[in-house]
Chain A
Amino acid sequence: MADKSQVCSVWVGSETGILKGVSLSKKQAFNFCEMSCLSRDQEVCVLGWGDEHETEVLVGSVNGTVKTFSTEKGIFTETRQCGESTQGRFTGIAVTDSALITCVETGLLRVWKEGSTDTVEINAGTNVCRMRQNPSQRNQVATGGKENGLKVWDLERPETPIFTSKNVRNDWLDMRVPEWVRDMSFIPDSDKIVTCTGHHQVRVYDPASPQRRPVLEAHFGEYPLTALSLPANQDSVVVGNTHGELAILDLRKGLVRGCLKGLAGGVRGLQCHPSLPLVATCGLDRFLRVHSLEDRSLQHKVYLKSRLNCVLLSSKDLELSGSAVTGDVEEVKEEGGEVDEVWDTMEMINDQAKKRATDEEEAVVPGVEKTTKKRKVVK
């Protein structure tokens, strides 16, 4: 179990309550579940990293339990009861300084400190759809939901949010535009927050600017956008909607840069890799797909038998092809070295041998490059 979990680079939570680990390099998926007794109330709602080194995965279920899964050991190490199922599903989970932050649909945002049973509670309004933590300032969280605008909370001052967004102006019929924040993300290196809504809008808010209304608004498609993620390079955002349409939007002007094809069901979970131009998606069609953001092609597709709710990517390198290529090159160089030695020991044929050796090395190195090129094309 431990070796299986150490290889996994993508973690997926399913509706049947099973935590699945997928190793893209080995092209295998593993189920990590406690016992053979599964039940629907253990359905995984949220996944999060328990620590910065990504050795622990926090799994939040419908019945209010948060389980900690250790990737090194391959087992669930801890279970905490963080609320009941009557309070609604988990909509966000995060960790700061050994404290666990959970948010449920009814708007109750709680900070569970280690060792003490009392919690800091914030009421984030009703119908919260998502809660996310600022990766650079870990004590800031953002919440948003249906008819519940984006609010940024500082956990050290739980009474009022530090930023409350305002709804856009009335539309051309002078009617109030409905609001439904489905997912949000903090843009690194700035104060801005980008949100996607159930009314197929993508909005960027800037708390630093005096206006509380969105700074940028873009539209995509006709169906509710369910998930959002920011790729490693700036100025773009990947969104997914309930019809399985994935798009890369440019945040400078708000235009669609391209669509990612392949999904047949609604997108439930979406995450971009922190450094590589890859995006992992999971959805109701029971597949985990990894697309490349540069050429928008499908890199990996894994069938995972249950409807998938959330996905978590680890920061380590996902693919074996990089390490395989370096392995081959090393082997080739070693062989070349051996050949050199063999030829050097044979005295008479030295000059020709050296020429041949150099020829071989030259022939071999372009050969290696060719194979790498082939690999890229085949993908």
Chain B
Amino acid sequence: EERAVRLDKPTKKKTKKPKKQPKPPHENGNDSMIEKTEPEHVDAPAEFSFPPTFSVSEIKNKQRRHLMFMKLKQEKRKQKVAMKKKKKKERDALGDKAPPKEVPKTIENQRVYDETTVNPEDEEVAFDEGTDEFSAYFNRLTNPKVLITTSDRPRGRTVRFCNQLATVIPDAHVYYRRGLALKKVIPQCIARGFTYLMVINEDRKVPNGMVLCHLPDGPTAHFKVSSVRLRKEMKRRGKDPTEHSPEVILNNFTTRLGHSMGRLFAALFPHDPQFVGRQVATFHNQRDFIFFRFHRYIFKNEKRVGIQELGPRFTLKLRSLQKGTFDSKFGEYEWVLKRHENDVCRRRFNL
């Protein structure tokens, strides 16, 4: 019976325009076609209700399948609009007594509670953080001094990225790698008083990885770098950053691992920001991706701020955190990203 119905359908190719017209028949020259389809449409629901497992995808003819699918979509859209209208009417009718608007579910809303989330009053965690490798910086015993280098033989984009990073981070020095082994570079850095070693790894002329090693004995973090935008590529950017120390914003580092990461980034910058410079570096963590942005702000009045993005922007994803300085073969890892174990639940994050 269904097949009989469909044979009656006009086999002429319908153009898209009449298809997209709303259901109330229009006066264009396609009246006949629409009239034909309408009774079919009236009959069709009766037919459709017969086999409950029928779906549009079972029609073998591509054109007819397409037509039926489009009809289905239009129906659904109509129902959705009608529902919305109805809800709005009810809401207006209730007025003040209306129930509050439902918040849509997002992955951040639905995030599985992580038991390692740091409680600010926790003494043990406070002691742990107070005596870990960053305690020298946070007790104001050392000032940060960063050495930025790359993997061997970097190409132009990476070199420019390193130079721009050096302008963003105060007291940063860029050195050419010259094929030296990191394990041999590290003791020399320690001897010269560096507190951080940052190595930007390059692949196919684009920076794609970063190793951030806190010296003298601090943790080494290995990141995947993506979405690098250099200053030239930024729209509506301001002038180049000045030598003032920026303020640092660390967003959303809630878990214990997140705390370690936050401290790692905070220790890159000098303790006291120079507010005269009106510059701010932001490390924003969302869904385990850390977004770095560098802005200059200006207060227009007490309540309104204008910001200008300067400087490079990039995204980081932590791949591993190793205790001790860089030793990928024999070092002990505090946390390793294991993709298959992390992919099990889309709402579970580590930072």
Contact = CB atoms under 8 A, between A and B. Distances in A.
A40 B127 CA distance: 10
A284 interface: yes
Given A31-B124, A38-B127, A261-B341, A284 B330 contact: no
B152 interface: no
Contacts of A242: 330-333
A198 B125 CA distance: 31
Interface in B334-351: 334-336, 338, 341, 350
A266 B127 contact: no
A286 B332 contact: no
Nearest to B333: A266
A29 to B, nearest CB: 11
B128 interface: yes
A279 interface: no
A107 interface: no
A284 B333 contact: yes
B116 interface: yes
A16 B336 contact: no
A172 interface: no
B333 A244 contact: yes
A212 interface: no
A38 B123 CA distance: 11
Interface stretch (A60-68, A111-119, A299-307, A335-343): A299-307
A262 B342 CA distance: 10
A71 to B, nearest CB: 21
A306 B335 contact: no
B335 A18 contact: no
Nearest to B114: A303
B124 A265 contact: no
A243 interface: yes
Contacts of A154: none
A185 to B, nearest CB: 21
A262 B341 contact: yes
B125 to A, nearest CB: 6
B204 interface: no
> Which of A15, A39, A266: most chain B Cβ within 10 A?
A266
A224 B327 CA distance: 12
Among A16, A36, A226, A265: residue with most chain B CB under 10 A: A265
Interface string A249-264: 0000000000001101
B122 interface: yes
A76 to B, nearest CB: 18
B323 interface: yes
A163 interface: no
A284 B334 CA distance: 5
A285 interface: yes
Contacts of B336: 243-244, 264-265
A303 B128 contact: no
A40 B333 contact: no
Contacts of B124: 16, 18, 31, 305-306
A15 B133 CA distance: 13
Contacts of B116: 286, 303
Contact of B115 (A15, A244, A303): A303
B256 interface: yes
A223 interface: yes
Contact of B323 (A40, A198, A284, A305): A284
Given A262-B341, A303-B116, A305-B256, A285 B335 contact: yes
Contacts of B341: 261-262, 264
Contacts of A306: 124, 128
A266 B334 contact: yes
A224 B330 contact: yes
B329 interface: yes
Interface string A263-285: 01110100000000000000011
A102 to B, nearest CB: 23
Contacts of A39: 131
A2 to B, nearest CB: 22
Interface in A303-325: 303, 305-307
24 contacts: A16-B127, A16-B131, A18-B124, A39-B131, A224-B329, A224-B330, A242-B330, A244-B338, A264-B341, A265-B333, A265-B334, A266-B323, A266-B334, A284-B334, A284-B335, A285-B334, A285-B335, A286-B116, A286-B256, A303-B116, A305-B122, A305-B128, A306-B124, A307-B323
In order of increasing CB-CB distance, the 10 nearest A-B pairs are A266-B332, A284-B334, A242-B332, A303-B115, A265-B334, A305-B124, A40-B131, A266-B333, A264-B335, A306-B128
Given A18-B124, A307-B323, 19 more contacts: A16-B124, A31-B124, A198-B330, A242-B330, A243-B336, A244-B336, A261-B341, A264-B335, A264-B336, A264-B341, A265-B334, A266-B333, A284-B335, A285-B334, A285-B335, A286-B256, A305-B128, A306-B128, A307-B128
